[in-house]
Amino acid sequence: MILLLATSAAVADGEKLYTENACGACHGPTGNEPIMPTYPKVAGQNKEYLIRQMNDIKSGARNNGASVAMRALVANLDDDDIAAIAAYLSKL
């Protein structure tokens, strides 16, 4: 029960963080309508995969394509924020 509650709280925070950080400006309001054909859809992806991609973009380990376009945005997110956003996006 506690675990279930914690999970839904993380998802709710993830939605808030996604909106507040204007992630939807590039990936679309529900993560499924990128504004550029070369930008990825982030909705419905595997949670662990999303966490890894955000951390790698943040650290610079991932520096391909247009990842520089969003480095400044993930730079402000801590591990909890990233996990909450990934949980939210993976459920869309």
Residues 6+ apart with CB under 8 A from 51: 82, 83, 86
Of 9 and 61, nearer to ligand HEC (C-beta) is 61
Closest approach of ligand HEC to the CB of residue 88, in Å: 9
Binding residues for ligand HEC restricted to 16-55, rule: CB under 6 A: 18, 21-23, 25-27, 39-40, 42, 45, 50, 53-54
Closest approach of ligand HEC to the CB of residue 21, in Å: 4
What burial class does residue 73 get, using C-beta atoms within 10 Å of its C-beta: 0-12 exposed, 13-18 middle, 19+ buried?
Answer: middle
Closest approach of ligand HEC to the CB of residue 3, in Å: 24
Q: How many residues does the chain have?
A: 92
